[in-house]
Amino acid sequence: MDFSKAQREGFIEAFTDLFSHNRDPRDRKELRDAGEKLIQGCAEHFRRSITRCSQISGVIPISRRNKFIIQAQKLMEIKSLDEFQSIVQWILEEFPDTANWIEYWLRKPHAQMIFHTYMSMDSELWEVLPATTNAQESLHFQLYHAAGRDKQFFQGLKL
């Protein structure tokens, strides 16, 4: 999943509606909480944001770009909160103009979708889910290519 609020909220609302209509014993709040714990963000979206940030030479000097990329990518793999916070602190000290970028990713809804140290999902489920949404995005592209845009799905297939 990407990190848009609309997509995230849409998933949680659909999950809540589906299970509330299927006589699940949990109330809507419990279902929302459960749905929230099933969202994993796309690692490729985070990697691309690292690349975009690293290409702003006023924020990351070209000579230090690789060091920034390596440290930022480690944030996705680290399981120790102390180590995670140490790397975040290092990034902020070495590249202070990344503060808005790092603060965005550390917001709870984003952090729990991409960083092991903040995940609310069951760790076994986290490990078996794909880390990227590339397959879904590829399928969306193929559907749009076949059916066209701005049409109802079945109308597009008739064309």
Average pLDDT over every residue of 103-109: 91
- CB 52 within 8 Å of CB 76: no
What is the pLDDT, as a whole number, of residue 151? Answer: 62
Structure tokens given for 84: 């995670």
- CB 50 within 8 Å of CB 70: no
DSSP annotation of 59 reads: T
Quote the CA–CA distance of 78 and 54 in Å, as a whole number. Answer: 20
Instruction: With cut-offs at 50, 70 and 90, classify the pLDDT of residue 132.
Output: low
- CB 3 within 8 Å of CB 110: yes
Instruction: With cut-offs at 50, 70 and 90, classify the pLDDT of residue 129.
Output: low
Q: Which residue has the higher pLDDT, 104 or 136?
A: 104
What is the pLDDT, as a whole number, of residue 135? Answer: 45
Specify the DSSP element, H or E, that contains 89. helix 81-94
Q: Which residue has the higher pLDDT, 45 or 38?
A: 45
Find all residues with CB under 8 Å of 26, minimum gap 6, and list them: 19, 34
Q: What is the CA radius of gyration of the chain?
A: 19
Question: Max alpha carbon distance in the chain (Å)?
Answer: 59
DSSP annotation of 64 reads: G
Structure tokens given for 45: 């979206």
CA 32 to chain centre: 18
Quote the CA–CA distance of 36 and 39 in Å, as a whole number. Answer: 6
